[in-house]
């Protein structure tokens, strides 16, 4: 099946001073997957929001199908059969799969006949690429199942164009392969047109038929996937030959164990065990990476290490001493922590950059004397930090919440890396950042390691862990289930363990 499903012609969109999209065109064919590739901030989301009618383009137009219908608002897009799966889930967690599917129907009857709905949906479900238990509450589903449910929700609406926003960001490699493979089959079979936003070359190469690359809001080009190499794509995406410069990993001097976790047990908010009987050690001059799919106890572990969550069993030792996450201990051991989403978890967004950067040291001389803050000293200190870490804008007086995501990340990292940490706990440090920022943050973490810090890196990005870590552990359901080294690491094997399929044979 061929023919155009959707066409965007010279679409431009400007927000204030920012030209978010500059004359971008895109042709989406029926019966295949079209990848939209670009760094963060390249304008992928803006383009898609123009397509689904969420934004009105300043110039250009979006046309659907052979009849060249114009899309001017979300309702049009919906009525014309464009469905979008967002990166964050739009499911109702306290409802069942069935309720969520029925809820998505545009014209619900006033009174819902659950038996009829159940039979109708069970019947349609047979033709779907994946199956899900209809009566399971959504909050009991794993992330991968939620993603499948989101996709089924759209497919049940008989969409002709399906837009997926970073569909595999919460999936293990296995799950990603399954979901994308099935979607590709379905597209071939039914003539569905799929537009997939991504920044993973692997998915483009394996599953997409065409690729369109955006850079800084501009259209760089469209290619048949078979005609273009990964090097060429990354060059289109970043604008220069992407060199995977290996980070300078100095041989580790044996510094002894700085962080030791022994049989640690932590409960989640509902009192269920989130981390069970977890033991690990991190030596000075070593990065230990913990890989895992989001929601397997990582958040609770980081919170416990940061002193934000009580533990229910086991103990944490830092520099050989029992550690309870108290401020005195943090200061004495130079125990530093960069949690995920630092704007929410490690800063006060309405307080100024200077105040936020002073959190570690505001109560010590020279930043305060006799209990009184010395604003000038704190400011000067913050100025040094943001100059060193290239935080922009270089203004310490504005609220930290006004900075962009990457700059918040840099600012908080500056606070945590300053003053030679002994132990550094880092969670998803590069989530949502672009290439350049990622490379810089990786280099900083490696430098901290080389300087003798014990680094515990907890990340959902397996590539990041393989690149940085000296040893790799896999967390699944609150337990460390697998240990390997970056040299021996096989992403597929690690993926199996991430998904909790332990005990399957794997060769080394």
Please give the residue ranges that form the binding site for other proteins (CB under 8 A): 74-75, 78, 86, 88-95, 99, 102-104, 108-112, 114, 269-271
Separation of alpha carbons 340 and 348, rounded Å: 14
* Residue 290 and residue 455 in contact, taking contact as beta carbons nearer than 8 Å: no
Looking at the Cβ atoms of 86 and 130, the one nearer to other proteins is 86
As measured in angstroms, the least distance from the Cβ of 84 to other proteins is 9
As measured in angstroms, the least distance from the Cβ of 117 to other proteins is 11
Strand 218-224 relative to strand 368-369, pairing: unpaired
Give the angle 205-41-218 at the CA atoms, nearest 5°.
Answer: 75
Please name the residue that has the structure tokens 């800084």. Answer: 216
Looking at the Cβ atoms of 16 and 271, the one nearer to other proteins is 271
Looking at the Cβ atoms of 106 and 370, the one nearer to other proteins is 106
Separation of alpha carbons 48 and 159, rounded Å: 16
Assigned token pair, 501: 């399929």
Assigned token pair, 14: 């400007």
Looking at the Cβ atoms of 45 and 396, the one nearer to other proteins is 45
Residue ranges of the alpha helices (H) in 165-266?
173-190, 201-207, 230-238
Looking at the Cβ atoms of 108 and 263, the one nearer to other proteins is 108
Looking at the Cβ atoms of 76 and 174, the one nearer to other proteins is 76
Looking at the Cβ atoms of 106 and 226, the one nearer to other proteins is 106
Assigned token pair, 86: 């967002």
As measured in angstroms, the least distance from the Cβ of 272 to other proteins is 9
Looking at the Cβ atoms of 269 and 504, the one nearer to other proteins is 269
DSSP for 218-233 reads: EEEEEEEGGG--HHHH
* Residue 406 and residue 437 in contact, taking contact as beta carbons nearer than 8 Å: yes
Rounded to the nearest 10 degrees, what angle do helices 491-498 and 173-190 cross at?
100
* Residue 381 and residue 367 in contact, taking contact as beta carbons nearer than 8 Å: yes
Q: Is the peptide bond before 265 cis (omega within 30 degrees of 0)?
A: no
Question: CA 487 → CA 284, 467, 507, distances in Å?
Answer: 20, 10, 14
Element (H, E) at 423: strand 423-427
As measured in angstroms, the least distance from the Cβ of 265 to other proteins is 16
Which residue from 417, 435, 439, 436 is spatially nearest to 426, judged by alpha carbons? 417
Looking at the Cβ atoms of 74 and 295, the one nearer to other proteins is 74
Q: Is the peptide bond before 393 cis (omega within 30 degrees of 0)?
A: yes
As measured in angstroms, the least distance from the Cβ of 268 to other proteins is 8
As measured in angstroms, the least distance from the Cβ of 35 to other proteins is 23
In total, the chain counts a number of residues equal to 508
As measured in angstroms, the least distance from the Cβ of 224 to other proteins is 33
As measured in angstroms, the least distance from the Cβ of 411 to other proteins is 25
Please name the residue that has the structure tokens 């976790």. Answer: 261
**CA-based torsion, 73, 78, 80, 81: positive or negative:** positive
Query: Dmax over Cα atoms in the chain, in whole Å?
Result: 77
Looking at the Cβ atoms of 49 and 215, the one nearer to other proteins is 49
Separation of alpha carbons 366 and 384, rounded Å: 15
As measured in angstroms, the least distance from the Cβ of 157 to other proteins is 12
As measured in angstroms, the least distance from the Cβ of 122 to other proteins is 19
Burial 258-292 (b: 16+ CB within 10 A, else e): bbbbeebbbbbeeeebbbbebebbbbbbbbbbbbb
Looking at the Cβ atoms of 86 and 431, the one nearer to other proteins is 86
As measured in angstroms, the least distance from the Cβ of 307 to other proteins is 20
* Residue 355 and residue 369 in contact, taking contact as beta carbons nearer than 8 Å: no
As measured in angstroms, the least distance from the Cβ of 322 to other proteins is 27
As measured in angstroms, the least distance from the Cβ of 350 to other proteins is 12
Looking at the Cβ atoms of 116 and 224, the one nearer to other proteins is 116
Looking at the Cβ atoms of 244 and 271, the one nearer to other proteins is 271
């Amino acid at each position: 099946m061929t023919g155009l499903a959707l066409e965007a012609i010279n679409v431009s969109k400007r927000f204030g001073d920012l030209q978010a999209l500059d004359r971008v065109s895109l042709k989406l064919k029926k019966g295949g997957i079209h990848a939209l590739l670009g760094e963060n901030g390249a304008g992928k989301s803006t383009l898609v929001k123009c397509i689904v009618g969420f934004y009105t383009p300043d110039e250009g137009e979006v046309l659907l199908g052979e009849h060249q219908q114009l899309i001017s608002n979300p309702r049009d897009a919906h009525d014309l059969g464009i469905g979008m799966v967002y990166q964050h889930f739009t499911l109702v967690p306290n409802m069942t799969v069935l309720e969520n599917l029925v809820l998505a129907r545009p014209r619900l009857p006033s009174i819902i006949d659950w038996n009829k709905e159940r039979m109708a949906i069970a019947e349609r479900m047979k033709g779907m690429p994946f199956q899900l238990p209809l009566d399971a509450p959504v909050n009991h589903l794993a992330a991968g199942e939620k993603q499948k449910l989101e996709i089924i929700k759209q497919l049940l609406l008989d969409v002709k164009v399906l837009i997926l926003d970073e569909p595999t960001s919460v999936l293990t490699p296995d799950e990603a392969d399954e979901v994308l493979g099935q979607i590709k089959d379905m597209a071939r079979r039914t003539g569905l047109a799929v537009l997939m936003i991504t920044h993973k070359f692997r998915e483009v190469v394996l599953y997409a038929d065409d690729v369109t690359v955006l850079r800084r809001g501009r259209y760089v080009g469209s290619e048949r996937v078979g005609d273009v190499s990964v090097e060429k794509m990354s060059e289109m995406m970043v604008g220069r030959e992407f060199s995977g410069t290996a980070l300078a990993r100095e041989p580790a001097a044996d510094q002894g164990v700085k962080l030791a976790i022994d049989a640690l047990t932590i409960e989640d908010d509902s009192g269920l065990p989130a981390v069970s009987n977890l033991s690990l050690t991190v030596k000075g001059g070593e990065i230990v990476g913990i890989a895992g799919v989001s929601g397997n106890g990582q958040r609770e572990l980081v919170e416990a290490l940061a002193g934000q969550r009580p533990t229910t069993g086991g103990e944490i030792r830092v520099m050989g001493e029992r550690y309870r996450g108290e401020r005195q201990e943090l200061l004495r051991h130079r125990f530093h922590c960069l949690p995920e989403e630092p704007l929410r978890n490690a800063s006060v967004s309405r307080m100024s950059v200077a105040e936020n950067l002073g959190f570690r040291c505001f109560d010590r001389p020279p930043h305060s004397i006799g209990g009184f803050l010395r604003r000038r000293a704190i400011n000067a200190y913050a100025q040094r930090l943001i100059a060193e870490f290239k935080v922009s804008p270089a203004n310490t007086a504005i609220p930290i919440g006004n900075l962009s995501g990457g700059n918040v990340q840099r600012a908080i990292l500056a606070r945590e890396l300053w003053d030679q940490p002994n132990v550094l706990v880092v969670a998803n440090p590069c989530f949502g950042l672009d290439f350049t920022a990622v490379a810089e943050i990786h280099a900083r973490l490696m430098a901290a390691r080389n300087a003798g810090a014990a680094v515990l890196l907890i990340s959902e990005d397996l590539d990041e862990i393989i690149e940085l870590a000296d040893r790799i552990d896999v967390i699944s359901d609150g337990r460390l289930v697998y240990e390997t080294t970056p040299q021996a690491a096989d992403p597929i094997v690690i993926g199996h363990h991430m998904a909790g399929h332990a005990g399957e044979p794997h060769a080394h």
